[in-house]
Amino acid sequence: MKAMILAAGVGSRLDPLTRHIPKPMVPIVNRPVMEHIVELLARHGIKNIMVNLHYLGDQIEEYFGNGSKWGAKIHYCKEDRLWGDAGSVKRCEDFFDDTFIVVGGDDLADIDITRIVRLHKEKKAIATIALSLVDDPSEYGIALLNDRGRITRFLEKPRGEVIFSNAANTGVYVFDPRVLELIPRGVPYGFGNNVFPMLLEQRTRFYGYLTSSYWRDVGNLKQYQQTHYDVLDGRVAIKIPHPEVRKYVWIGEDAEIDPSAEIGYPVVIGKNCRIEKGARLLEYSVLADNCILEQGATVKQSILWPEACVMRDTMLERCVVGRGCRVKSNAAVFDGVIVEPGRK
C-alpha cells in the first residue's frame, strides 16, 4: 500500500516559528513532526510514500532523503504553487495503483491505520476518513455518521449555529483510486470543501472511522506546546530519541549537567546540552541538542530548539525559543516566542 504525506503548506498559524522552517519540520520532542508520521506509516507496513513540497521544501527533502533511514521509499512532488490537498493528490495520481492513504504532514497521531484500512475495505468504500471527538470543532471539518458508520453530512470549518457534530476530520484518509476521477486536473481543489460534499451528493460509499487514538493538529503555538506536554505525559505512542535515564527524564549523549543543577520531570535533554551550576530545568521542558542553560537560569514548561541558550539568571516559563537564540534578561519571560528574525 502507498501513502501521500501533504507537506506543502506555509504554516502561517505557527508564525513566527515557521518563517525559516516548513511546518512539517517543526520539532516535536527533538524530531520533526513529519518524522513521527513516517514512522507511524512504516509501523503499519506502509513504506512507499509520496511527499508534496512547496514552502521551504528543500529542507524536507534534505532531511528525509530517499527514506531509507526509516525503511521507507520516499518520493517527492515539487509544486510551483499551492494546489489544495485534493489538487496535490491529483497531480500525483500516476503514483497510486490501489487503495492508498493520505495524511497531513503537520499533525501528530498514533491512529491505528491498519484498522481503518480494514474497515475501508470491508465497507467497499470509495473514501474513509478518521474522525476524533473535539471540544471545539469550529476549526475542523465535521461529520455526522449513521449507525453503520456511513457519513451522512459533512461541513468544512463550521461556524456558530451550523455546528451539528463534534466529530472532527483528522486529515487521515483512505481512498479507493476511483476518487481521483472526481478531482479536476490543473486547478486548486480541496477534500473538505469540494470532494467530500461531492461524495455525499453522489451518494457514494463514504465512511467515517471514529477513533479514540491520539491526534492533534499542531496548528498554532498553544497546540504546539500542548502536544509536547501530551508526549511527556505518555498520551501518544511516539519515540523520544533519547534514553530514559530515570522515570520521566530523557537525556541524550554527552549532556553535561552540573551536580548543583535542579532537574525536574518530565523533561527531555538533548545531546551535548550543558546545564550549569544552579540552573533549573523544571517540569514539561524540552531542550534540543546543543542547548545551554547558564548559571542560575530557570526554564519551565518551555521548548528550546537546537543551539538555544538561556543566559545567566534568566527565567523562562511557557516559552518557545528558536534555533540558535540567546535569551538574555535579568527578569523573567512568560508565554513568549523567541526567534531570530533574520536567521536563514
218 and 257 assigned to the same domain: no
Question: Which residue, 180, 197, 232, sits at the end of a domain?
Answer: 232
Same domain, 200 and 60: yes
Residues 160, 94, single domain; the answer is: yes
4: which residues sit within 8 A by CB, 6+ positions away?
Answer: 49, 50, 51, 52, 88, 89, 92, 95, 96, 100, 101, 102, 103
**Claim to verify: residue 228 and residue 261 sit in the same structural domain:** no
Residue 288 shares a structural domain with residue 208: no
pLDDT in tens, 123-182: 999 999 999 999 888 888 999 999 999 999 999 988 776 888 999 999 999 999 999 999
Domain contains 343: no
Whether 84 and 106 map to the same domain: the answer is yes
What's the Cα-to-Cα distance from 281 to each of 61, 244, 273, 332, 341, rounded to whole Å? 34, 16, 12, 14, 26
What pLDDT digit, counting tens, does each position of 174-228 carry? 999 999 999 999 999 999 999 999 999 999 999 999 999 999 888 789 999 999 9
Q: 333 and 222 in one domain?
A: no
Same domain, 36 and 91: yes
How do beta strands 285-287 and 167-175 pair? Answer: unpaired
Domain finish residue from 206, 232, 258: 232
Q: CATH number for the domain including 9?
A: 3.90.550.10
Average pLDDT on 1-17 reads 91
CA atoms within 13 A on the CB side of 244: 9
Q: What one-letter code names the amino acid at 255?
A: A
Residue 55 and residue 11 share a domain: yes
Q: Which three cell numbers stand for residue 239?
A: 519515540
Does 238 reside within a domain?
Answer: no
Q: Which domain holds residue 111?
A: 2-232
DSSP string covering 47-58, please? -EEEEEE-TTHH
pTM over 0.75: yes
The answer to whether position 284 is within a domain reads yes
Please report which confidence band the pLDDT of residue 329 belongs to, taking 50, 70 and 90 as the band edges. confident
Residue 108: what are its φ and ψ, rounded to 5°?
Answer: -115, 130
Q: What is the pLDDT, as a whole number, of residue 41?
A: 96
Number of domains in the chain: 2
Q: Are residues 228 and 281 in the same domain?
A: no
CA separation, residue 19 to residues 198, 216, 316, 319 (Å): 35, 22, 22, 17
322 and 206 in a common domain: no
Domain at 253, CATH number? 2.160.10.10
Residue linked to cell 455546528 = 163
Q: Are 163 and 257 contained in the same domain?
A: no
